[in-house]
Structure 1
Amino acid sequence: MSAPTEETVRVLSVPERGESRILDGDWVDDGFDVAVEPSAESAAERLRRERFDCVVSGYDLRESDGLELLRNVRDRDPGVPFVLATASGSERVASEAVAAGVADYVPLGQRETDDDATGGGGDPAPVTDGETLRTRVRAAVKRVRDRGEGSERERDRRRLETLIGNLPGFVYRCRNAPGWPMEFVRGESEPITGYTTEELASDAVVWGEEVIHPDDREQAWETVQAAIDTGEEFEAAYRIRTRDGEVRWMWERGCLVESTVDGTAVLEGFITDVTERKQYEAELERRNQELEAFTSVVSHDLRNPLSVAKGRVELARERHDDPDLDHAARAHDRMETRIEQLLTLARNGERVTDTEPVDLDAAAARCWSGVATDDATLDADVDLTVEADRDRLVQLLENLVRNCVEHGSTGSRAESGDAIGHGGDAIDHGGDAVSVRVGELDDGEGFFVADDGPGIPDGVRDQVFDAGFTTAADGTGFGLGIVSRIAEAHGWTVEAVDGADGARIEVRTEPAA
């Protein structure tokens, strides 16, 4: 017997007692792989160990009968067809077998004709028991396999219908010919285009000639053809005109699946409405252009006159010992600081794309060396690594630490101009020195910067990160605004909370559980 193949029918056969040897395997050909067991008990044991396509059993078995084995098989695996082939059967046996779920009942020792076996016409020809059994077993296995394939196809169809029903768009199948005439459309085409799936899948509406915007047709065609030529999937964005004349943006993704008899390629893909995304991108581009114009004005039109003024004041201070000139020089320094903060605030809104693991304690130490801290102390013994843009993380910490030092100190802040309720960056105070602590959040999803000063008033906690918000007459309110922009650029959140001893700003780098 040849080795089993994917199409081979694996059969477990249990012969009857007596002289009939047909179930010992004499009936098989190359399409069968038959294992023979001498009893119902050994057959049941083998079925527990191995998988068979069909069980063929006699009725009069050793120590049992075929009906008992049939019921055993039905209980264990209802999907395996069971053929009862017996020379000692009766109408009662046949009836009980049918009631128990037998796939076929074959009385042995009777002569069939081809007409009996196949139901066809023509001259009757004798058919042996072996031929009959082969035919009946193949038919029983085929019925089960066909049902299985049909069920699988039905499950696939239902899964596809569910998937399509949940997609914000529609799937299609079309010929890769001018106009992209569609043969199949399923999904939410009408809410998007105004055309039903039936209209798009017929000659009533031609997608590439009547729906795609005239100005985008050539580009869309070239994009798809370029991808097909390289054997890749294609993606295309283009405008359409809906049935009502509205212009909307589509995003399409698909691939070449086959070619027709005449050589025309067939495409399958998915189309969805991205109009809102396109509008958002256009608005973002407009705002970015405005921001670039603003930073250009700040950088050029304010810096240049300020540089001239600073130079003049320095020359005057060299010639004259006048306290008013000292005040003017400090005012120029504050103005320069505020210009830098404005530019920083504008630029830090850009999304962070290149990050690296950064040790928070090292970043805190670096920021501390860059901030005028007077007698303030830093506690940053924290074992936390943050995925961030290193320079922008340091800048965030600098602004938080500066706010702590200026806000938390109890001395005079006449020159401050940026801390909440006190002003900015220059520090000229005595009084008790502030203690600044950098630590990890309890849930490990971020970090905090806290001080032991008077804290942030409850009424302004929701406003402290607004650019320009300050309670000081000479404050700019940009420090914590910069913190907020840097955090947002990383995808983080920042919040002012009530600390144990003073102000506490929490930066959450991961979503809260």
Structure 2
Amino acid sequence: MQLEDSRKLSFLRATQEAKADLPFVFYQKDASDEFVRDALAIGANDVIQPSEQSDRIEVLAARIAQAVTRYRTEQRQSENQRRFDTLVSNLPGIVYRCSNEPDWPMEFVSRGCEELTGYAQEELIEGEIDFGTDVIHSADHDRVWEITQTQIAAGKPFNINYQIETADGQKKWVTEKGCAIFENGEIVALEGFISDISEQKRQTRRVKLLNRVLRHNLRNSMNVVIGYTDLIADQVKSETEKEYADVVSSTAHDVAALSKKVGQIQAVFRPESPSLPQADLSTPITDAIDEITAAYPHADIGVESNLDVRIKGPTRLQVALQHALENAIVHSGLEAPPVVVETRLLGPDNPRKVQIQISDEGPGIPEMERNALDERQAVSDLSHGSGLGLWVMKWYIESIGGELTFSEHNSCGATVVYHLPKADDC
């Protein structure tokens, strides 16, 4: 190698040390193979050797432009990778890529694995620790595998809750959401995210226990109050005293009914099966009217419906309908309160939507009660509404993909409106 070449390579080394990512192109006639090899090894982007046919400035400019473009592309990729690494590292859980095997051998795990499992990235990636056998709780291992494979076979992502055991022996509940990655029709990996839901599980268990105790005790206590109030009402002679007893009895019945409504609210928030049952629209309407007629035989309930459509979640729709009918009857103030149930399709703009209207001639639903259903508003002691019935209606209808609204009457009364998708649109 000529001395001149050595100086050029020394200059290249110095440049690389000062600015390693700076594009560097040699333009040298008769460069030896050794020089080209060493220059590229040190970090040169290219070595251009002009010839009689290509000894033009355009050649040099084009090659430099290529080097600069390549440099900028690498810079963008490096910055994107840095941002991705920062994002993944700060997620409260594990981002992973693993093989689709029962031991779940990890190809990549984010740094959140150490906080969640107690194991370092290297232990999981290098196979010192098997996620499937060492981390997933033995009681859940087979279930996790079966659910994952079933969802993959169906071409769907998977979402599983299960327990893990950490490096120091702690038990934690996690939720995992992921999917299979395919290349040429073959599974090459699974990718997903695992997060800690231990506190959520504990809170859910506490709420269930508290709810069970309160509902049981509340219902039993109110039944005692109702029983004694009825005895008192039978024995008092003064009309005023009888009115007082009726007020106490009515209030006790309302409080006892809260227990049932709380149970319904709890039921609607339980995890549901992937597909709700279907039924003809007429089924939940008929069943709801039968239930309410048995409880309020004096009510005059009419039906105007000839739709032949199917809907999902008939039991949930029945509960929502019963609450709407009961509200209309109880608050009407009439001896034989008329209530009308009407159904129709929404028309050309929404041909796949069904509308159910429950109309009465009572005092209407107070604006405060309707506004309380707006979940964007803060709930206070003065604005939360007087009961849970409207919330049960709202949540049950939303749980089957519908919407609850209210329609204004020209005269008195209220109209509750349910908009529902037909079964094949849910």
* 8 Å CA contact 1:114, 1:126 repeated in 2: no
Displacement of 1:218 in angstroms is 1.5
Name the amino acid aligned to 1:253.
K
For residues 264 and 308 of structure 1, the distance between their equivalents in structure 2, rounded to whole angstroms, comes to 73
1:246 paired to 2:170:
yes
Residue 177 (str. 1) matches residue 105 (str. 2): no
Q: CA deviation at 1:126?
A: 9.4
Whether 2:254 is the aligned partner of 1:283: answer no
Provide the secondary structure at the position in 1 that maps to 2:194.
strand
CA distance in 1, matches of 2:243, 2:383: 23
Counterpart position of 2:250: 337
Q: Partner letter of residue 153 of structure 1?
A: Q
C-alpha distance in 2, partners of 1:258/1:246?
A: 35
DSSP 3-state at the match of 2:70: helix
1:268 aligns with 2:191: yes
CA distances 1:392-417 after superposition (whole Å, capped 9, x unpaired): x937958xxxxxxxxxxxxxxxxxxx
Letter in 2 for 1:394: I
Counterpart Cα distance in 2 of 1:269 and 1:219: 18
* CA–CA separation in structure 1 for the residues paired with 2:64 and 2:30: 19
**Equivalence for 2:237:** 324
Contact 1:345 1:481 in 2 (8 A): no
Give 2:418's aligned residue: none
Which of 345, 352, 365 is the matching residue for 1:394? Answer: 365
Cα distance between partner residues in 2 of 1:128 and 1:154: 39
* Native 8 Å contact 1:345 1:482 kept in 2: no
Q: 1:293 aligns with which of 216, 232, 237?
A: 216
- Assess, with a 3 A threshold, how the Cα gap between structure 1 residues 137 and 227 changes in structure 2: closer, same or farther: farther
Deviations 1:94-132 (A, max 9, x none): xxxxxxx9987979xxxx66969x9479xxx99443376
Structure 2 partner of 1:226: 150
Aligned to 1:237: 161
Gaps of 5+ in 1: 1-100, 314-322, 355-365, 372-389, 399-437, 449-461, 466-478, 492-513
Of 140, 153, 166, the residue aligned with 2:90 is 166
2:53 aligned with 1:129, yes or no?
yes
Structure having the larger proportion of residues in helix: 2
Q: 1:120 to 1:272 in 2, by over 3 A?
A: closer
Separation in 1, partners of 2:27, 2:63: 12
Larger RCO (CA within 8 A; separation ≥ 6): 2
Larger radius of gyration: 1
> Partner amino acid for 2:198?
T
Q: Distance in 1 between matches of 2:366 and 2:219?
A: 22
Other-structure match for 1:216:
140
Q: Deviations over 1:228-286 (max 9, x none)?
A: 2233222111111111211111111122224699x663112111111111111112222
CA distance in 2, matches of 1:185, 1:297: 53
1:345-370 CA-to-partner distances (Å, cap 9, x unmatched) read 5466648999xxxxxxxxxxx99x86
State the Cα distance separating 1:326 from its structure 2 match: 3.6
SS across alignment from 1:168:
coil
- The alignment partner of 1:149 has SS state of helix
Could you report, residue by residue, the CA deviation over 1:296-327 in whole angstroms, capped at 9, with x for unpaired residues? 425655546655765x55xxxxxxxxx73545
SS in 1 for 2:138: coil
**8 Å CA contact 1:396, 1:483 repeated in 2:** no
Instruction: Give, in whole Å, the separation in 2 of the partners of 1:394 and 1:246.
Output: 52
Q: 1:302 to 1:170 in 2, by over 3 A?
A: same
Q: What is the number of residues matched between the two proteins?
A: 274
Query: Residues 332-481 of structure 1: matches in 2 within 5 Å?
Result: 332-343=245-256, 345-346=258-259, 350=265, 394=365, 465=381
Work out the CA distance in 2 between the residues paired with 1:267 and 1:304.
Answer: 62
> Could you say if the C-alpha distance between residues 132 and 294 of structure 1 is closer, same or farther in structure 2, counting changes exceeding 3 Å?
farther
TM-score, with structure 1 as normaliser: 0.43
Does residue 1:256 correspond to 2:185, yes or no?
no
Rounded to whole Å, the distance in 2 between the matches of 1:446 and 1:204 is 52
Task: Report the TM-score, using the length of structure 2 for normalisation.
Answer: 0.50
Equivalent-residue separation in structure 2 for 1:336 and 1:396 (angstroms):
28
Secondary structure of the 1:216 match is helix
**Cα offset for 1:204?**
1.3
Asked if the contact 1:348–1:482 (Cα under 8 Å) also holds between the matched residues in 2, the reply is: no
Residue identity in the other structure for 2:365: V
Out of 78, 94, 110, the residue aligned to residue 186 of structure 1 is: 110
Q: Aligned residue for 2:64?
A: 140
Q: How does 1:39-54 map to 2 (within 5 A)?
A: none
Gaps of 5+ in 2: 1-21, 39-48, 270-315, 317-327, 334-358, 396-426
RMSD: 5.1
Provide, for residues 471-501 of structure 1, a one-character-per-residue CA deviation record: whole Å limited to 9, x for no partner: xxxxxxxx9996487899999xxxxxxxxxx
In the alignment, is the contact (CA less than 8 A) between 1:106 and 1:133 conserved in 2? no
User: What corresponds to 1:505 in structure 2?
Assistant: none
Q: Flag the 1:286–1:148 CA change in 2: closer, same or farther, 3 A.
A: same
Verify the 8 A CA contact 1:396 1:486 in the aligned structure 2: no
- In 1: Cα distance, 2:248 partner to 2:221 partner: 11
Question: Which residue is equivalent to 1:10?
Answer: none
Distance 1:484 1:188, change over 3 A: farther
